[in-house]
Structure 1
Amino acid sequence: MIQEAVNLQQSYLSKFIDRYNNSTRTSKEFTQKYRPILADTRVSDGFNFFVKEMLYPIVAKQSLGSKIWDIDGNEYIDLIMGFGINLFGHNPPFIKEALQEQLELGIHIGPQIELVGEVAELICELTQMERVTFSNTGTEAVMTAVRVARAVTGRHKIVLFSGSYHGHFDGTLAKAQATPIAPGVLPNFVADILVLDYGNPQSLEMIESHKNELAAVLVEPVQTRRPNFQPKEFLLQLRQLTKESDIPLIFDEMVTGFRIHPGGAQAYFGIQADIATYGKIVGGGMPIGIIAGKAAYMDAIDGGMWNYGDNSSPQTKKTFFAGTHCKHPLSIAAARAVLKHLKMQGSGLQEKLNQRTSQFVLTLNNYFEQEGLPIRLANFGSLFGPAVSGNDDSENSTFSAIMDLLFYHLIHKGILLRGVGNFLSTSHTDEDCDRIIQAVKDSVAELQDGGFLPKLSIKAS
Structure 2
Amino acid sequence: MSDATRIRQRQYLETLIQRYTQRTSGSKQVAQTYRSVLADPRTTEGFNPLTKELCYLIVGKRSSGSKVWDIDGNEYIDVIMGFGANLLGHNPAFIKDALTEQLEYGIHLGPQAEQVGEVAALISELTGMQRVTFSNTGTEAVFTAIRLARAATGREKIAVFSGSYHGHSDGTLVRNQIVDGHSRTVPPAIGVASNVVENVIVLDYGNPQSLEVIQAHRNEIAAVLVEPIQSSRPNLQPKEFLLQLRALTQELGIALIFDEMVTGFRLHLGGAQAWFGVEADIATYGKIVGGGLPIGVIAGKAHYLDQIDGGLWQYGDDSSPRVQKTFFAGTHCKHPLAIAAARAMLTHLKQAGPSLQQELNQRTAQFVEQLNTCFATHEVPIRMAQAGSFFGLASAGNSTATTHEAAAIGMSLLRYHLFDRGVLLKGEGGGFLSTAHTDADLDRIITAARDSIEELQEGDFLPRPSKQLVQQAS
Match of 1:167 in 2: 167
CA contact (8 A) 1:179 1:191 kept: no
Match of 1:367 in 2: 374
Question: Distance in 2 between the 1:105 and 1:291 partners?
Answer: 27
**Which of 398, 416, 423 does residue 408 from structure 1 map onto?**
416
Structure 1 unpaired stretches of 5+: none
Which string of whole-angstrom CA distances, capped at 9 and with x for unpartnered residues, describes residues 5-55 of structure 1?
Answer: 232222211211111111111101100100000111111122221221111
* 2:100 corresponds to 1:106: no
Question: Distance in 2 between the 1:402 and 1:160 partners?
Answer: 34
Q: Which moved more, 1:71-80 or 1:225-234?
A: 225-234
**Which of 296, 312, 317 does residue 324 from structure 2 map onto?**
317
Question: Distance in 1 between the 2:101 and 2:283 partners?
Answer: 30
Correspondences of 1:184-203 after superposition (within 5 Å):
184-203=191-210
**Which of 423, 438, 454 does residue 429 from structure 1 map onto?**
438
Q: Residue 282 of structure 1: CA displacement?
A: 0.4
Question: Distance in 2 between the 1:106 and 1:214 partners?
Answer: 45
Question: Distance in 2 between the 1:417 and 1:384 partners?
Answer: 11
Match of 1:441 in 2: 450
Secondary structure of the residue that 1:409 maps to in structure 2?
A: helix
Match of 1:417 in 2: 425
Question: Distance in 1 between the 2:38 and 2:155 partners?
Answer: 41
Q: Residue 364 of structure 1: CA displacement?
A: 1.2
Question: Distance in 1 between the 2:389 and 2:269 partners?
Answer: 13
Identity of matched residues, %: 64
Q: Which moved more, 1:48-57 or 1:406-415?
A: 48-57
CA contact (8 A) 2:381 2:396 kept: no
Match of 1:48 in 2: 48
CA contact (8 A) 1:250 1:275 kept: yes
Q: Residue 460 of structure 1: CA displacement?
A: 3.8
CA contact (8 A) 2:409 2:461 kept: no
Q: Residue 457 of structure 1: CA displacement?
A: 2.2
Which string of whole-angstrom CA distances, capped at 9 and with x for unpartnered residues, describes residues 389-424 of structure 1?
Answer: 79xxxx989786443211110000000112245011
Q: Residue 233 of structure 1: CA displacement?
A: 1.2
**Which of 437, 455, 462 does residue 453 from structure 1 map onto?**
462
Match of 1:76 in 2: 76
Which string of whole-angstrom CA distances, capped at 9 and with x for unpartnered residues, describes residues 73-101 of structure 1?
Answer: 11000010000010000000010011111
Q: Which moved more, 1:185-194 or 1:142-151?
A: 185-194
Match of 1:151 in 2: 151
Question: Distance in 2 between the 1:170 and 1:379 partners?
Answer: 30
TM-score if structure 1 supplies the norm length?
0.97
Match of 1:90 in 2: 90
Secondary structure of the residue that 2:10 maps to in structure 1?
A: helix
Correspondences of 1:11-26 after superposition (within 5 Å):
11-26=11-26
Question: Distance in 2 between the 1:247 and 1:346 partners?
Answer: 33
Secondary structure of the residue that 2:164 maps to in structure 1?
A: coil
What number of residue pairs does the alignment pair up?
457
Question: Distance in 1 between the 2:241 and 2:280 partners?
Answer: 14
Match of 1:125 in 2: 125
CA contact (8 A) 2:88 2:435 kept: yes
* Residues 397, 154 of structure 1: alpha-carbon distance in 2 compared, 3 angstrom cutoff: farther
Question: Distance in 1 between the 2:13 and 2:71 partners?
Answer: 24
* Residues 243, 123 of structure 1: alpha-carbon distance in 2 compared, 3 angstrom cutoff: same
Match of 1:135 in 2: 135
Q: Counterpart amino acid of 1:432?
A: D
Question: Distance in 2 between the 1:434 and 1:75 partners?
Answer: 16
CA contact (8 A) 1:303 1:316 kept: yes
Secondary structure of the residue that 1:238 maps to in structure 2?
A: helix
Question: Distance in 2 between the 1:404 and 1:65 partners?
Answer: 27
Q: Counterpart amino acid of 1:430?
A: D
CA contact (8 A) 1:287 1:331 kept: yes
Question: Distance in 1 between the 2:339 and 2:172 partners?
Answer: 27
Correspondences of 1:191-340 after superposition (within 5 Å):
191-340=198-347
Which string of whole-angstrom CA distances, capped at 9 and with x for unpartnered residues, describes residues 93-142 of structure 1?
Answer: 01001111111111111111110111000000000000000000000000
Question: Distance in 1 between the 2:257 and 2:391 partners?
Answer: 24
Question: Distance in 2 between the 1:205 and 1:397 partners?
Answer: 40
Structure 2 unpaired stretches of 5+: 177-183
* Residues 218, 396 of structure 1: alpha-carbon distance in 2 compared, 3 angstrom cutoff: farther
Secondary structure of the residue that 2:198 maps to in structure 1?
A: coil
Q: Counterpart amino acid of 2:310?
A: G
